[in-house]
């Protein structure tokens, strides 16, 4: 069974059990769910771009959070579960929501920001090697569809060992950042300030960084570099 099929079955099963609740997305509760949204939305503080596309949009909970806290943002999304896509389409009639695996079918539209929240945490029976290859494929596809950057989050390896679970994925920083620098961009930031055992990674496109820093003093940092 492919990762996509395995993940689809997992979330469909949760949805049938919990309905429109954070637990349907394997979140512990609404408070921790919202904390992830707040960290993701910090990207709006650094960029004028307000067009946000969420990969793994689930039941649109991030879209609801944005409507309350950043109503100027334009929200759209993609998911591999048709039930989730239907739920988002009903809630956000002005948005565009697609049922697709972006690694197999790339996004046809470009967005300021392409974000992913919580999707990388649950690897089920996959090995760490298989899952990191999946992470890289997803991040490449996300980066190809953004004009400002991407935001993703991971469980931290700096969590208490006795609280770890075998079906969860804890992403070491060094191989991740080596991949980001070699395949995506040298402009990135790690937000490890959350109370949760998690961190958020934001990767900025060089052109977007340059646009925010047009002063001649920065010219030497953008000559033939990515």
What is the mean predicted confidence (pLDDT) over 179-201? 96
Distance (Å, rounded) from C-alpha 2 to C-alpha 12? 15
Radius of gyration of the chain (CA): 17
State percent of the chain over pLDDT 90: 86
Q: Is the pLDDT of residue 226 over 90?
A: no
pLDDT band for position 16 (cuts 50, 70, 90): very high
| Mean local confidence (pLDDT), 167-181 | 97
Residue 12 predicted with pLDDT over 70:
yes
Q: What is the pLDDT of residue 21?
A: 86
Q: For the chain, how far is it from start to end, CA to CA, in angstroms?
A: 37
155 Cα distance to chain centroid:
13
Q: Average pLDDT over the chain, rounded to whole?
A: 94
Q: Report how far Cα 187 is from the mean position of its chain's Cα atoms.
A: 17
Residue 224: predicted pLDDT: 66
Q: Is 56 helix (H, G, I), strand (E, B) or coil?
A: coil
- Residue 225: is its pLDDT beyond 70? no
For residue 141, pLDDT beyond 60 = yes
Question: Is the Cβ–Cβ distance between 57 and 63 less than 8 Å?
Answer: yes
How many degrees, rounded to 5, is the angle at CA 211 between CA 205 and CA 217? 110
pLDDT confidence of residue 45: 86
Question: Which tokens sit at 146?
Answer: 């953004």
Encode pLDDT of 101-123 as tens digits.
999 999 999 999 999 999 999 99
* CA dihedral sign of residues 135, 147, 188, 151: negative
Under 8 Å CB-to-CB from 190, ≥6 apart: which residues? 173, 177, 199, 200, 201
Q: Which of 40-54, 78-92, 180-194 has the lowest mean pLDDT?
A: 40-54
The topology under which CATH files domain 3-222 is Rossmann fold (3.40.50)
Q: Region 146-153: what's the mean pLDDT?
A: 97
Entry pTM: 0.95
- 25-80 pLDDT, tens digit each: 888 788 998 999 999 999 998 777 799 999 999 999 999 999 999 999 999 999 99
């Amino acid at each position: 069974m492919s990762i996509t099929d395995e993940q689809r079955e997992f979330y469909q099963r949760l949805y049938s059990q919990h309905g429109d609740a954070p637990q349907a997305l394997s979140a512990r509760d609404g408070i921790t769910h919202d904390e992830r949204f707040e960290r993701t939305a910090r990207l709006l503080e650094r960029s004028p771009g307000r067009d946000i596309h969420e990969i793994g949009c689930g039941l649109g909970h991030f879209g609801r959070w944005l409507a309350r806290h950043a109503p100027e943002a334009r929200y759209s999304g993609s998911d591999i579960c048709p039930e989730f896509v239907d739920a988002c389409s009903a809630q956000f009639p002005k948005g565009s929501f697609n049922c697709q695996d972006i690694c197999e079918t790339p996004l046809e539209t470009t967005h300021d920001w392409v974000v992913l929240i919580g999707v990388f945490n649950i690897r089920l029976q996959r090995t760490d090697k298989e899952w990191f290859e999946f992470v890289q494929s997803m991040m490449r596809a996300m980066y190809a569809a953004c004009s400002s950057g991407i935001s993703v989050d991971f469980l931290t390896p700096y969590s208490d060992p006795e609280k770890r679970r075998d079906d969860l994925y804890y992403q070491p920083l060094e191989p991740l950042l080596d991949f980001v620098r070699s395949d995506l961009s040298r402009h990135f930031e790690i937000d490890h300030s959350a109370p949760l055992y998690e961190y958020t990674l934001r990767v900025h496109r060089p052109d977007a960084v340059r646009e925010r820093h047009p002063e001649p003093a920065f010219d030497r940092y953008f000559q033939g570099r990515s």
